[in-house]
Amino acid sequence: MNDLVQFLVLHGAIVMFVALFIEQVGLPFPATPFLLAAGALVGTGKLNGFIAFPAAIAGSLLADLIWFYIGLLAGRRAVKVLCRISLEPDSCVRRTQDVLTKYGMPGLIAAKFVPGLSTLLPPLAGSSGVAFSRFLFFDAISSVLYCGGFMLLGFLFSDQVDQILAAFASLGSSALTVAVTLLAAWIAYKYWQRQRLLRELRVTRITVDELHQQQEAGGNPLVLDLRPASELQDDPYLIPGALHIDIDDVERRQHEIPRDRDVILYCSCPNEAGSAKLAMLLRRNGLTRVRPLLGGIDAWRQRNYPVESPRPVEMPTTLPV
């Protein structure tokens, strides 16, 4: 048994706590291999599962509680900050909001197994006014299932995982180098993926000043607000003339969007990723005058441009022509 495995055996509780805490706090560090390895070591009698398992749950819970209170104190700004420092695509904010809107806190249980959602849902729950006791109840269930599920998987396949650990141990001092290299390669790939998305977004965006000038000059752009209905309830104001519509409905009804006028999409996502990705999809389908609004409604407000109360939130029967 090499030094790395021996370290995990001797300090299993600390390792599991730190690994789960780092992953759930939002840093690019996968904890799943540690859970599988811990389960395998429990299966071979080399690790005390009654210590390692609660330690993993504690690390997950502590990170989630920290983000819950940050969301409670800072509101949705906490979610936006988290998405800016995360390597996950920023559109995960909308997916997380959809999970919370459709399923409520029970959705936290399934979200724990989805990268990005598991970190974003606690601050979003805090900013949405979810009761602490209710959040703690469902977060505890999700942490138990997440940690227990992967540790159980490692336990059931302990012979195979133990063989992998033995092969890893045979590398000797180079084992750490291999592990660090693989982790660095994964982080580099996620970073490249994110930067490629951001480069694509810069090509098509329109600024809030340009949109305001169009409106002041008598232009007639079709402005679509793509924010989730739950967010619109918390912030019930639109850019003047904007029409609120679900982002999925826009894609489904793209044949109704006029080809002879500018179509401006906006949301409140960090880097306006939700509206920008939809805009690029529509442009590839022939709607060349579709553009995302740089900075979304937040940038519009920062310029002190006017806003108005929304029209009825229900989807219109037809898009304006």
Q: Is 274 helix (H, G, I), strand (E, B) or coil?
A: helix
Q: Which domains does the chain have, with CATH numbers?
A: 3-201 (no CATH), 205-302 (3.40.250.10)
Q: State residue 201's pLDDT score.
A: 58
Number of Cβ within 10 Å of residue 38's Cβ equals 31
For 133, the enclosing helix (H) or strand (E) is helix 132-156
Give pLDDT tens digits for 184-233.
776 677 667 666 666 665 656 888 999 999 989 888 899 999 887 777 77
Burial class of 284 by CB neighbour count within 10 A (0 to 12, 13 to 18, 19+)? exposed
Helical spans, DSSP H, in 11-48:
12-24, 32-43
Quote helix, strand, coil % in the chain, to nearest 5: 65, 5, 30
State the pairing for strand pair 290-292/263-266. parallel
Which pLDDT belongs to residue 315?
41
pLDDT at 150: 94
Query: 121-124 long-range CB contacts below 8 Å, 24 or more apart?
Result: 121/96, 122/64, 122/65, 122/67, 122/68, 122/71, 123/67, 123/68, 123/70, 123/71, 123/74, 123/78, 123/79, 123/82, 124/71, 124/76, 124/79, 124/93, 124/96, 124/97, 124/100
User: CA gyration radius for the chain?
Assistant: 23
Q: Which residues of the chain have pLDDT under 70?
A: 1-5, 76, 79-95, 161-180, 183, 186-187, 190-191, 193-204, 269-273, 310-321
User: Residue 1: its pLDDT value, please?
Assistant: 46
- SS3 for 87? coil
